[in-house]
Amino acid sequence: MLEEVTERPVPAAAGPLARLLPIVLVLWGFVGAYLLQLSLDRAGEGRVREKVIQELAYFPSGRFIRQVAIEYRELAADLVWLRAIQYYGHHLMTDRRYEWLGHVFEILTTLDQRFIGAYHFGAITLAWDARQPTEALNLLFSGMKANPMAWQLPFDAAFISYMVSRDYETAGVLFDIASRLPGAWLITRRWAAVARAKAGDYETARQMWVEMYNATENKRLRELVVRQLRNLRLTETLDRLQRAVDRFQEDRRRLPAGLDELAATGYVDGVPERDPYGGRYFLDDGKVRTTTPPGARD
């Protein structure tokens, strides 16, 4: 037995190449995994948009998450908030379609009915970016039921009624409700009177946007306010020039040759060189227009 063992050939010591082999194989393994992951990431990039929509389509209802989250509903709401911001930001940068925005904010506010910031941001983005003022108002009205002492909610509802729906009577009532609640801005009472007088003037609108800008630390919301102020300036200038053209035509029984004639004859103080988007104002068969197409505006 011992002889058999000793007679066996002793294996030759592994050469330097053989010792390196396992290391090379491991390195190759990692390189292979890295290359595959790169390919997977590239393939996934094209599906990001589709994925966002799919994820939200199957996003469970607020009531379901509310049950599952037990005593951690507020924390679940915070996670949905981060998801909502991601969804909004993604569409703001790409197609500007916000199909699931209302759904996400409904879930969020079902989970945490006291999340005033979510009602505020959700309603403003729904009304202006998603162009869904009815959904925005519904979100705020459900928030008002859960938070009857929060002045921001009737204020936002009034703001949307005034600026988007042009329902000045409702806006007046809502501004009035907001002004009577603790902590409301003093200016709200004046806006209640302005809305009741149905004076949809640009200066009041500008003041409202500026107040909203100053009151928030939400970067996205501030960007939205800046875009709306730019739009407001464009609309105001078009309106001012159009009124001057109408007055000119009434006085002289003819259309002005161009906008410069309005300035030369004193109907306007001056015509701005450029609109807020860099386009030029011009007169087209009695109508004041701008070279910036509506699609290029914010």
How many residues lie near other proteins (CB under 8 A)? 26
Out of 59, 78, 230, 282, the only residue in the binding site for other proteins (CB under 8 A) is: 78
- Residue 216 binding other proteins, by CB under 8 A: yes
For residue 267, is it left (φ>0), alpha (ψ between -120 and 50) or beta?
alpha
Question: Least distance from C-beta 80 to other proteins, angstroms?
Answer: 11
Out of 7, 71, 269, 273, the only residue in the binding site for other proteins (CB under 8 A) is: 71
3-state secondary structure the chain: CHHHHHHCCCCCCCCHHHHHHHHHHHHHHHHHHHHHHHHHHHHHHCCHHHHHHHHHHCCCCHHHHHHHCHHHHHHHHHHHHHHHHHHHHHHHHCCCCCCCHHHHHHHHHHHCCCCHHHHHHHHHHHHHCCCCHHHHHHHHHHHHHHCCCCCHHHHHHHHHHHHHHCCHHHHHHHHHHHHCCCCCCCHHHHHHHHHHCCCCCHHHHHHHHHHHHHHCCCHHHHHHHHHHHHHHHHHHHHHHHHHHHHHHHHHHCCCCCCHHHHHHCCCCCCCCCCCCCCCCEEEECCEEEECCCHHHCC
Question: Least distance from C-beta 94 to other proteins, angstroms?
Answer: 19
Select the span of 1-9, 63-71, 205-213, 288-296 touching other proteins (CB under 8 A): 63-71
Question: Least distance from C-beta 71 to other proteins, angstroms?
Answer: 5
Taking the least distance from each CB to other proteins, the nearer of 85 and 263 is 85
Question: Least distance from C-beta 159 to other proteins, angstroms?
Answer: 17
Question: Least distance from C-beta 86 to other proteins, angstroms?
Answer: 8
Question: Least distance from C-beta 144 to other proteins, angstroms?
Answer: 15
Question: Least distance from C-beta 238 to other proteins, angstroms?
Answer: 33
Select the span of 74-82, 95-103, 206-214, 286-294 touching other proteins (CB under 8 A): 74-82
Out of 5, 10, 82, 93, the only residue in the binding site for other proteins (CB under 8 A) is: 82
- Residue 218 binding other proteins, by CB under 8 A: yes
Binding residues for other proteins restricted to 109-148, rule: CB under 8 A:
112-118, 121
Out of 39, 67, 235, 265, the only residue in the binding site for other proteins (CB under 8 A) is: 67
Residue showing tokens 């507020």 = 74
How far apart are alpha carbons 127 and 261 in whole angstroms? Answer: 39
Taking the least distance from each CB to other proteins, the nearer of 114 and 247 is 114
Residues that bind other proteins (CB under 8 A): 67, 70-75, 77-78, 81-82, 85, 112-118, 121, 216-221
